[in-house]
Amino acid sequence: MIPAAFGYERPATLEEALILLARHGEGARILSGGHSLLPVLKARLAHPGVLIDIGRIPALSGITRTAGGLRIGALTTHYEVESSPLVREACPLLAEAAGRIGDVQVRNRGTIGGSASHADPAADYPAALLALEAVLVASSPDGTRGIPAADFFTGPYENALKPGEILTAVEVASSPAGSGGAYLKAAQQASGFAICGVAALVTLSGGSIASAKIGVTGVATPAYRARKAEEALAGKPASPESLRAAAALAAEGVDPLDDFHASAEFRVQLAKVYTERALAEALRRAKG
Amino acid sequence: MATATKKKKAAGSAKKAPARTSKRAAAYTPPKKFPISFRVNGSEVRAEAPAHTSLLYLLRDLGFTEVKNGCEAGDCGACTVLLDGVAVNACCVLGVQAEGREITTVKGIGTVENLHPIQKKFIELGAIQCGFCTPGMIVAAYELLEKKPRPSREEIKAGIAGNLCRCTGYVKIIDAIEAAAGEMASSKGRKS
Ligand SMILES: Cc1cc2nc3c(=O)[nH]c(=O)nc-3n(C[C@H](O)[C@H](O)[C@H](O)COP(=O)(O)OP(=O)(O)OC[C@H]3O[C@@H](n4cnc5c(N)ncnc54)[C@H](O)[C@@H]3O)c2cc1C
Ligand code: FES
Ligand code: FES
């Protein structure tokens, strides 16, 4: 499998990358880890004239503390997120999701910016980014804007970036004291992608649930927040009964995917079961 | 010369067709080649390749055929090499991305004369059948033991999850990596 020929640019700075992207317009694609883009090009599902390799732009890598949380550069690999002491401490849910992506080689090379931009409806990150209410930071020649995760994933392989924009970082708030998170997935056996992946972040106050945030991937497209289930939990006692009642609403109002990996009915069932399990595990961790 | 003659002939025949022929001929330009200098197993390598050439093809074309081509889609791990010490699928990296980088193949981990403990244990414990997965498997195992010198069997499984083997059923591969970790730990202990 050999992709069609394309041109190649390797800008050294973000400014240069944005100029190149503006110059080449629709014909250009950004290259990060290449672990989604190169298979797509080999399958000849896209025909860009030029790849703009942002892999050596220092401003796009690294994990740093911000006032309320972390800024994770777009080029940060899944392995770096999985193993970063900063991420494990401030938002362990994100590290857990990163560690469930693909295999070692994929995690060594694939990046958070690439995964988010690719917006695969079966990818792991979207669930965690939704539950953590992450903000995706995009730069264009006009400046920088933050896009809430809930607005970022717009469809299968579709995101809210405008032409000419590059995703530069992902910002996440530190998970508050008394909170616990968990990411669980039913993986497609051969590829490892999620048939259903649920990220839950539960915050306790006294013996009851102050808030629950639930991101679901693989079940419908795009990945979504299970708002009905979240609402059903707010203020409720942290009991197995309330978790079960809320989890029953995990696929409420969504149009489930239906393909040869799993039927729509099975996906809905998985969404309920995995939501209950993820909530229970998150709760266990919240209790410390 | 040959092309010129052809063009002339074409111009003499029906009006529309020749214009198309010459347009097509003019439109083809071979893909631009990029100079790539990098290191493979410690040696300086200078190459040239179009941007769409994968690191896998680049390495194999340069004679590093120990890097195997299994699936070309990131699934099987047969093409695993170290890129600046990190295990990657060479099929999902472009050759041009290796510019200035250090690549290590299975031959850089140990040679026939001087086998690495992982290679030795693969042979001793029968972890090789057809051998197609072996180069990638050993590179992945090497990185695993760099990160985690004494992995559990579960951790070994996770460490080679990206490397498919159609022959062994994995048990002997896991045995070999476990044994190599043990030998590396005890020889380290002896040294210090
Ligand atoms: C064998 C295999 C198994 C996998 N298993 C899983 C899995 O279980 N779960 C999972 O979630 N993923 C999985 N993946 C996908 C993997 O996580 C990819 O690394 C990820 O989806 C893409 O990240 P990348 O850095 O490789 O991006 P690339 O492939 O370089 O780019 C992907 C797309 O995003 C665009 N893009 C990249 N970076 C930016 C940016 N900064 N700004 C704007 N646009 C950008 C590109 O133009 C391209 O369209 C798997 C991949 C493989 C090959
Ligand atoms: S050939 Fe690269 S992963 Fe299979
Ligand atoms: S020994 Fe044949 S594929 Fe592993």
pLDDT per residue as tens digits for the range A82-97:
999 999 999 999 999 9
B51 and B124 both lie in a single domain: no
The CATH number of whichever domain residue B154 belongs to comes to 1.10.150.120
Residues B97, B83 share a domain: yes
- Closest by Cβ to A1, choosing from B73, B77, B93: B73
pLDDT per residue as tens, chain B (192 positions) = 333 334 434 443 444 444 555 555 677 788 999 999 999 999 999 999 999 999 999 999 999 999 999 999 999 999 999 999 999 999 999 999 999 999 999 999 999 999 999 999 999 999 999 999 999 999 999 999 999 999 999 999 999 999 999 999 999 999 999 999 999 999 877 755
Please report the pLDDT score of residue B9 as a whole number: 40
Number of domains into which chain B is organized = 2
B6 domain-assigned: no
The ipTM of this complex is 0.94
> Is the Cβ atom of B104 under 6 angstroms away from ligand 2?
no
The rounded distance, in Å, linking the Cα atoms of A148 and A129 is 9
- pLDDT bracket for residue A1 (50, 70, 90): confident
Choose one of B58, B93, B108: the last residue of a domain: B108
- Give the chain A residue whose CA is nearest to the CA of B34: A8
Please report whether residue B23 resides in a domain: no
Give the residue numbers spanning the domain of B62.
33-108
* pLDDT of res. B10: 41
Boundary residue ending a domain (B108, B128, B150): B108
Q: Structural domains in chain A?
A: 1-175 (3.30.465.10), 179-286 (3.30.390.50)
> What pLDDT shows up at residue B3?
39
Across chain A, mean pLDDT equals 96
Residues B49, B35: Cα–Cα separation, whole Å: 7
CA distance to A43, A111, A157, A209, A252, per residue, from A224 (Å): 28, 21, 14, 21, 11
The stretch A51-66 carries a mean pLDDT of 97
Query: Do B157 and B179 lie in a common domain?
Result: yes
Q: What angle do CA B155, B156, B159 make, to 5 degrees?
A: 85
Percent of chain A with pLDDT over 70: 100
Q: Which residues of A touch B144 (CB under 8 A)?
A: 104
- Measured by CA distance, the residue closest to atom 2 of ligand 3 is B130
Nearest one of A100, A183, A40, A7 to B52, comparing CA atoms = A7
Residue B49: strand pairing partners: B34
Q: Which of A5, A31, A104 sits opposite B161 (nearest CB)?
A: A104
